[in-house]
Chains A and B, each alone.
Chain A
Amino acid sequence: MSDTSRSDSVVSVVQLSKSYPGPPPVTALQPCSFTINRGDYMAITGPSGSGKSTLLALLGLLDEPSTGQYWLDGDNVANLNDRQRAAIRAHKLGFVFQAFHLIGYRSVLDNVQLGLTYQGIGRRDRRRKALDVIQQVSLSHRTHALCSTLSGGERQRVAIARVLIREPSLVLCDEPTGNLDTATSIQVLDLIERLHQDGLTIVMITHDPDTAQRAQRRLVITDGHLTEPLIRT
C-alpha cells in the first residue's frame, strides 16, 4: 500500500471531495489536491461555511470522503473501514479543538492520559508521559485540578498536552484560539509554534488572517473550492 513517491509527505490529497446526497444535495468540498510535507505548518482559512471544518474532518478521518484519495504517511486511508480509521486516529493524529473538548469532571492528568488510552499503553507509562508533557505546557501546578475549574487558556494547554503525549504524525487544530482572548490566544499560538519547531506537522484551520499569517503555508477555501495563494517568504 505504501507509495515511495509520497514518502517525503505526511499528507497527500488527490481530488478529495465531500458531498451530501441531501435533499437538497450539497457539495461541501469540491475536488482538491495538495500535499503537506513533514514538519509543515499550514493554515487553512476561509469564511464560515466555506468547507474548512469539512476538510479538517476528512484529514482527521472523522468523516469519509465522497471521492478522491488521501495518503497519510504513505498509506491510502481514504477508504478504510471504521475500525481501521479508529486505529489511525489513535496512533497518527492529534486534535486541538476550538471548544477544547476536555472531560470536565476529570483531572488534567486524566485528560492528558486519555490521549494514550486507546493505544493500549499501560497506566504507569501513561502517567509518566502525561506528567512530562503537562510540565512542557507549564501546568504542573494544576496536574490534579478538575478541568472544569481551569481557565480557557489553561484548558487549551491541556488539549495541546493531550496532543503532545501522542507524538502524532499530523496535528489538526480547529480554530484553536476561537474561544480565547487576545493575550491568551498569543500564548496558545506560541505554544503551537513551539510544537512546529519541535518537528510536528501542523494544520490549523482559522478564519482569522492574523492567526493564519503565523503559518508557513496557507490554503484558502471559499465555497468548497481550495486554492493556495502566493506565500510570503
Chain B
Amino acid sequence: MTDLRSKMRWSDTAIEATAAITRRPARTLLTALGTILGVAAFVTTTGLAATASAQVSSSFDALKATEVRVQDANPDGTNPFPDDVEARLEKLNGINHAGLRYPVADNGELQPRNTASRPLGTITQPIPIIAATPGAILASQPVLSDGTLYDDFHQRRGEDVAVLGRVAADQLGVTRVDNQPAVFIANTSYTVVGIIDDVQRNPDLLLSIIIPTTTEHRNLNTTPNGVEVLIDTQPGAAALAGRQAPLALRPQDPERLTSLVPPDPTTLRNNVESDVTSLYYALAALSLLVGTIAIANATLLNTIERRPEIGLRRALGAKRSHITRQIILEAAATGTIAGIIGTATATLVVAAVAASRGWTTTIDPIIVLTAPLIGLATGAIAGTLPALRAARVAPATTLRG
C-alpha cells in the first residue's frame, strides 16, 4: 500500500483545465467578464491618463511663454539697439520673429489724417503712431483683413508706407487698400499697404498707424522713447532667447538690456500631470480590485456548481492538491484570456475617446504587454480561495443521489 500514490501529471492538469475552459465557452466568458472589465478599466484609465497627460503637455506648450521683450535697462534718451536687430536675432535658435518697435512721440504736430487738407478737428481721437520693423509686427502674430504688411524692402529703403490697425483704419475711413489709399502724417503721405484685423499680442497695434522705423527716422526723427525688441519664440525657447538676446544685440554691454520672459509653467504642468496621472492610477487600481473580486466570486460560484465533478475526481483518486491546482490553473488561464480581451477592448476605447476629442492616442506599450499578465495574476489570486474551498469538499456528500 505504501507504494501506491495518487499522481496527476502537470500536462494532464493543463489538459483538464483547458477542457474546462474551452468546452464551456459561455461559462468561461461569464467567469472572465469581471476580469475583462477590470483589465479593460485598468488599461483604459492608464491609457486615458497617458493621453490626457500628453494633451495637458500640449496645452501647456501652446500657452507656454513664446514672447520675449528686450528693453533698455537704463533709459537715457538714446537708442541702445543696433540697426540690424532682426539679422542678429534670427541667427539664434528657437526664434520665429523678432523686431524693433517704439511709439512715435506726438506733441500734436503730426496730425494723422486721411486727406491732405482735412482739418484736425474731424479726427475725434488722436491716432497713435508706432514705428516698427517688419519682424516686430510679425512677432505680434497679426491677422490681416486686407492688403499686406510692409517688408524688408520697405524697411531698408525707408519707403513711405503704413499699415493700419483696425480701429485706426475705421477712424481714418480706410476700408480697402486695392485703391492705394493714403494717410497723412505731418505733411507726408503714406501709402496704406494693409489693414490688421487682429493680433495675438500687442493690441495697441490695432489702434495705431504703423510705419517702418527707417521711414520714421528719415521723415520724423523723433527722440526714441520706450524702444523695445519684441521676440516671438518657438514653444520652450523663451527662456533661452531671453538669455541670449542681450548678448546678441549688445555683446559689448549686455547689461544695458533687460529681457522680460514670462514665468515658465513647467512646474505647474508637472504638478497637473502628476495629479491627473495619480487620479487615473487610483481609478485603475480600484477597477482591478473590482475585477479581482468579480472573478473570485464567479470562480466560487463555478466551483459550487461543479461540486459533483470535484467529488467525482476525488472518488477517482484526486488529492486535494490536484483539485486546487487545476482550479487555480483554470482561473489563471481564464484571467489571461480576459486580460487579452480587456486590453484589446481598452485600446479601442482609448483610441475612440482620443479620436473624438482630437487628441493623440498615447498608450504605454509596457501596460499593453503586461495587462494579460495582470489578468493571469488576478485570475490566480482570485482563484486560490475558491480552489482551496473546492478541495475541502467532502466527496461522499457531493456524490449522493
Whether A and B are associated in the same complex: the answer reads yes
Interface contacts (Cβ under 8 Å), in number, total 104
Q: In the complex, which residues of chain A have a beta carbon less than 8 angstroms from the beta carbon of B320?
A: 82-83, 86
User: When A63-B394, A87-B6, A101-B308 are in contact, do A118 and B400 touch as well, CB less than 8 Å?
Assistant: no
Cβ B4 vs Cβ A88 within 8 A: yes
B10 to chain A, nearest CB (A): 11
- Closest-CB distance, A57 to chain B (whole angstroms): 4
Q: Is B395 part of the contact surface with A, judged by Cβ < 8 Å?
A: yes
A103 touches B309 (CB 8 A): yes
Q: Are B317 and A90 in contact (CB under 8 A)?
A: yes
Chain A residue with Cβ nearest B400 = A53
* A17 CB to nearest chain B CB (Å): 16
Task: Point out which of B16, B318, B394, B401 has the most chain A C-beta atoms below 10 A from its C-beta.
Answer: B401
Measured between beta carbons, the chain A residues less than 8 angstroms from B8 are 117-118, 120
Are B316 and A118 touching (Cβ within 8 A)?
Answer: yes
Closest chain-A Cβ to B295's Cβ sits at a distance in Å of 20
| Cross-chain contact A83 with B319 (CB below 8 angstroms) | yes
Task: Decide: B7 and A62 in contact? CB cutoff 8 A.
Answer: no
- A62 lies within 8 A of B396 (CB): yes
Whether the pair A98, B19 counts as a contact (CB closer than 8 A) is no
Contact A117 B16 (CB under 8 A): yes
Interface size on A, residues (CB 8 A): 39
Contact A101 B317 (CB under 8 A): no
How many Å lie between the Cα of A86 and that of B395 in the bound state?
11
Chain B positions 314-339 with a Cβ under 8 Å from a chain A Cβ: 314-320, 322
Which residues 105-124 of A have a CB within 8 angstroms of B?
105-106, 110, 114-115, 117-120, 122-123
In the bound complex, what is the Cα–Cα distance between A97 and B318 (angstroms)?
17
A122 to B11, CA, bound (A): 10
Q: Give min CB distance, A91 to chain B, whole Å.
A: 5
**Minimum CB–CB distance for A9 against chain B, Å:** 15
A 197-211 to B, binary, CB cutoff 8 A, 1 in contact else 0: 000000000000000
Which 5 pairs from chain A and chain B are nearest by CB? A90-B317, A120-B7, A118-B317, A57-B396, A62-B396
Other contacts beyond A95-B316, A117-B16: 5, CB < 8 A: A73-B1, A86-B6, A101-B312, A101-B315, A105-B24
